Amino acid sequence: MAANATNDTWRPLDEAAANARRLTLAEHFATDPERAATFTFRTGSLLVDLSKCWLDRPALDALLAFARSRGVGPARDALLRGDPVNVTERRAALHTLLRTPAGALGPDHPFAHLAPLAGEVTAERERFLSFAERVRDGSIAAADGARFTDVVNLGIGGSDLGPRMATRALAPYCDGPRCHFVANVDGAATADTFASLDPARTLVVISSKSFSTIETMTNAATARAWLSGALGEAAAAHHLLAVTTATTRAAGFSIPGERTFGFWDWTGGRYSVWSSIGLALAIAIGRREFEAFLAGGHAMDEHFRTAPDETNIPMLLGLLDVWNRSVHRLPSLLVAPYDERLELLPAYLQQLVMESNGKSVGCDGRPVGRPTAAVVWGSAGTNGQHAYFQLLHQGTEVVPAEFLIAAEGHEPHLAHHHAILVANCLAQSEALLTGRGEGESHRALVAAGHTQEEAARLAPHATFPGDRPSATIAYRRLTPHVLGELLALYEHRVFVAATLWGINPFDQYGVELGKQIALGITGDAGMDRNASTRSLLAFLSLSREGHSNAP
């Protein structure tokens, strides 16, 4: 990836931003009848409306010129070609291969050199998908020969968030055993999950790329004890699987090779849902739907690879992220899926965006010149409207919002619910944009029956500044294919933004220090720790022992 941009490189963007902001969003719409059409983009099943963003045509041109100057096109080609784009760890980031259909890389394909590796990927995909099918049809059964009714995925971070979010998102397609997810090492997580399960009917999948993450390995040991305690050790072995790149460690945990599913070092945890890490999801939805999910991801890869910059949606959204964060210096991004089953998308994106791009130094080890990843947050709409949307409309911070909305739900008999959902989603982006001036608020208050005096008193409180930016992603229905398109879109968008910032999105050194300190604390009861940590430890250990006068 290219070296960090200097202030000179950013200047055209700063100037374009200042120019675009001479008009409010409402004024941009009033002066350009084509605005909605100009800033609406389509690919596959997705429509992306950027017309309510702080953009105009010259700003978009400046951003596209910035992308060219930062070498985003060549960087994308290097990513897809399998170059070692993860420069710190000196390896490729080939998650796109996980969703490349078998036989797609023929001799004429630009990435034909990846065909042997793609063959390995296809073989492992075949292994875990046929295993999933056999769990679903009962030919892989519990120790007593009966069908598994429940699957528990033990994993954390990328070994949890992807399959957990996708299983929730695709609930209408879940017709296999029920899937549960335990990530937290907090005993409450395993206790609450196992409380309602019958060990004799439960399959436990230990998902960990490294097979050494303390949370997952602690939960795995507890799960094994739970199974063995109820079924005996020999029978418990029929109820355990491993998904990992560290197959020797899985063998060390007494999980045999035929019950261990692999993936590759070049798959980052947060990019791994497409691999055997998606096993629980595959068991829930079955091979056909899992393949549709992969096909959606692949369709987005092809769009990213081949579409011109001007209509390349991951390119445009990556540019938008840099525009909002580094040019307008907006510190956070609200992701508001008006789609109940995407309620875990914000949590999934927190890892994807913040673990990838929450960096302060570039690939060259030098400090970055501008702010990088935004803080991503959010929850399902419309619930947020009755909680934090107040701040979006009238708070002192501008928070760019991203709405996701389906044309229809999976519940035709509840179409009237969906109509209200759609209306609310569109109303929010319009309200953020238009706002409402004090005079108009005053008139509205009088129309609502307030006296002139009361209306004057209340008008400042009922005034909305407006001119607040948002983007909307729309699709017909949340199918496995659409989910695949969406997730691959977010992955590539993160890559584009990383390239513009000159950072490596594929490492995560920032999570290591806390892990090491935690090991020290569990190992030596806090010797040589910071004074505050020592005092908290003393309180916690005295409280545990029942002393009421703990410091």
Q: Cβ closer to ligand F6P: 209 or 341?
A: 209
Select from 275, 353, 276 the least CA-distant residue to 321: 353
Where are the alpha helices (H) located in 307-449, listed in sequence order?
313-322, 345-349, 356-357, 389-394, 415-434, 438-447
Q: Cβ closer to ligand F6P: 157 or 278?
A: 157
Residue nearest ligand F6P (C-beta atom): 269
Contact footprint for ligand F6P (CB under 6 A): 156-159, 208-210, 213, 216, 269-270, 355, 508, 511
Q: Which long-range contacts (CB under 8 A, 24 or more apart) does 215-221 make?
A: 215/156, 215/183, 215/184, 215/185, 216/154, 216/155, 216/156, 216/159, 218/185, 219/154, 219/182, 219/185, 219/189, 219/190, 220/154, 220/253
CB of residue 152 to ligand F6P, shortest distance in Å:
16
Local structure of 16: helix, strand or coil: helix
Select from 204, 218, 217, 281 the least CA-distant residue to 246: 217
Select from 180, 176, 194, 179 the least CA-distant residue to 138: 176
Q: Cβ closer to ligand F6P: 351 or 434?
A: 351
Q: Cβ closer to ligand F6P: 354 or 398?
A: 354
Report the DSSP beta bridge partners of residue 203. 151
Q: Cβ closer to ligand F6P: 1 or 156?
A: 156
Q: Cβ closer to ligand F6P: 391 or 511?
A: 511
CB of residue 300 to ligand F6P, shortest distance in Å:
21
CB of residue 277 to ligand F6P, shortest distance in Å:
8
Q: Please give the Cα distance from 217 to 185 (Å, whole number).
A: 9
Q: Please give the Cα distance from 481 to 39 (Å, whole number).
A: 24
Q: Please give the Cα distance from 83 to 63 (Å, whole number).
A: 26
Contact 239, 230 (CB under 8 A): no
Number of H helices, E strands in the chain: 23, 11
CB of residue 223 to ligand F6P, shortest distance in Å:
15
Marked catalytic residue, from 386, 413, 416, 461: 386
| Angle value at C-alpha 93, between 356 and 242, nearest 5 degrees | 90
Helix axes 7-20, 57-69, angle to 10 degrees: 170
Residues in contact with 412: Cβ distance below 8 Å, sequence separation at least 6, in sequence order: none
Marked catalytic residue, from 109, 113, 417, 515: 515
Marked catalytic residue, from 133, 215, 355, 491: 355
Q: Cβ closer to ligand F6P: 253 or 389?
A: 253
Residues in contact with 58: Cβ distance below 8 Å, sequence separation at least 6, in sequence order: 16, 19, 20
Q: Please give the Cα distance from 137 to 148 (Å, whole number).
A: 10
Q: Please give the Cα distance from 105 to 356 (Å, whole number).
A: 28
Q: Cβ closer to ligand F6P: 270 or 418?
A: 270
Local structure of 437: helix, strand or coil: coil
Residues in contact with 443: Cβ distance below 8 Å, sequence separation at least 6, in sequence order: 455
Active site residue 355: yes
CB of residue 296 to ligand F6P, shortest distance in Å:
22
Where are the alpha helices (H) located in 196-344, listed in sequence order?
214-231, 233-236, 247-252, 279-285, 287-306, 313-322
CB of residue 213 to ligand F6P, shortest distance in Å:
3
Q: Cβ closer to ligand F6P: 176 or 505?
A: 505
CB of residue 495 to ligand F6P, shortest distance in Å:
16
Q: Cβ closer to ligand F6P: 158 or 378?
A: 158
CB of residue 271 to ligand F6P, shortest distance in Å:
9
Contact 74, 68 (CB under 8 A): no
On the 0-12 / 13-18 / 19+ scale of CB atoms within 10 A, 509 is exposed
Encoding tokens for residue 493?
């968008």
Q: Please give the Cα distance from 499 to 64 (Å, whole number).
A: 13
CB of residue 298 to ligand F6P, shortest distance in Å:
22
Amino acid identity at 3: A
Active site residue 386: yes
What residues are labeled active site?
355, 386, 515
